[in-house]
Chains A and B, each alone.
Chain A
Amino acid sequence: MTTATLSRQTGAALWRNVALPILAILAALLVGALMLTLSGFNVLAAYSALWSGIFGNARNLGEAMMRATPLILIGAGIAIAFRCGIWNIGAEGQFYMGAAAGALIGLSAGDLPVWLSIPAALLFGALCGGLWAAIAGWLKVRLGLNEVVTTIMLNYIAIGIVGYLVTGPMQEASRYNPQTDEIAAGMVLPRLLPGMRVHAGFLLALILPVLAAILLFRTPLGFALRAVGYNPEAALHAGINVNRQYVLAISLSGAAAGIAGAVEVLGVIGRLYENISPGYGFTGIAVSLLAANHPVGTIFSGLLFGALTTGAELMQLTAKIPSAMTFSLQGLIIAFLVSFRAMQGRVWRRG
């Protein structure tokens, strides 16, 4: 009886965390097909372009991994916040702060040995992203302000700060574009494979989610975070410092987004400029949700969303379908997933 009950539990978890996301992706593709047809596009051509945009050649796969890198890093961080019951909508701003921090070190630490300068840039990115998020945590526990509102507001401020930096104190020597000079050549993250843009930061995107999972599920800190996330009142009665967990969780979440920003500057862009993120911080929320807020799951959902982005580029080139279509697909996936989970909950309760 013991094993039967337990395997039923495992079965339910598998169903919830693996089968439902796949179903949601299929349903989204189906509705996407309908949208394409109604807009007068050839569905087959569109989806085959999407497919070859992802799997067509090794270069495309490498591109997808590169796109996935910031999404995974951000998503894993957001998963930590979600597990503590916190909605961190501020990863976008935390990414900007991390990017600015990475660029600052990248521009000034070129003389240091690489084994020191690159980790310093990543750590400074984590620190700035984490502190930026900690503001929202502090406002939540001190003044009772909802973190959804404050993190969104902090996004605008962070974007504004970067805008100021790249037109002011950090602007390139020629003062022509709103951007910095290129970072020290030695600090550019090495490419993993010849001819592809996927860089060493992707390895970080494989390691960090695992570390986040260990933190959440194997350490006393993670125990306390999850206890607060499920039931803050019971956690308080059990003697857990609830406010401390809130601030820690959102700070860790922000640190991950900050690392993502620094990695993007060091690995892909090579400098800081205005509007450096195409909404990574918001897509990261979807990445975490699709992974059922399991950090390791964000590796897969991040890769999926990265692949959709690269596939969309080919879809736009060959089938002339606006790349905004991918955003619809991403949105549909999340909408279906959330509704499926709600429906499943209802069926489960009735049964």
Chain B
Amino acid sequence: MIRLPPRTRWGAAAGLMVLGLSPAFAAEIPLAERRSGFDFMSRDSQALQHDDTANPGMLLVLDGEMLWNSMAGAAGRSCADCHGAALVSMKGVAARYPAYNAEHRRPIDLQGRINLCREVKQNATPFAWESPELLALAAYVAHQSRGMPITAGEDPRLQPFIERGRALYEQRQGQLNFSCANCHDDNWGQKLGGSVIPQAHPTGYPLYRLEWQAVGSLQRRLRNCMTGVRAEPYPLGSPEFVDLELFLMFRAWGMPIETPAVRP
């Protein structure tokens, strides 16, 4: 969805043509046409995601399971001491994150929620953003929702933050002056270099990206896109990223969670 005067649109069209993209101005993706990044991958990458004994993301899920059951902090408590078996207690949780946090009066994402628990309930030092431990716990928790539909954004208190995320999604930025929507709403399915542009539905995070040769978060992926358009990325854990995450999850409402997904 682009709300810009025609001249700006043609400027964008010229910019997209430089990158070999067609200047088709589609609106928001219709529900029936929404597709996971999974559908845009090669058969080999799909097979890798589908085989839990070959998907490298599963190694981190196993690390997460170990951390879930390990005591931490001055409180000497594990995640399991409060939450019990993640298999039961965490089912569907990742599907509704980022969620509203009454104390902070704003949404927090799954990583933020895990670190809050660590700080407040375990009396432990929060994990660094993008650390293997935080990714492992987030992957383990999100894995419990695999196959369940995304329900993020249902809390009415989230409305202004969804709108803020939407505004960031549509805002042009960087030296290339692209918004997220320019690629992922208007030109999905086209090629950028040798890669297919997906629709940017965050269905499988944290996920194993072949490019990273590791598991990473949605925020890391967003940073990559921002650097790609030559923009200054927001800091990890910043409110901008959480609002953007929230909008993207809301935009993917109803699509099934795939964690740990594999992407090229």
Partners in one complex: no
| B interface, CB within 8 angstroms of A | none
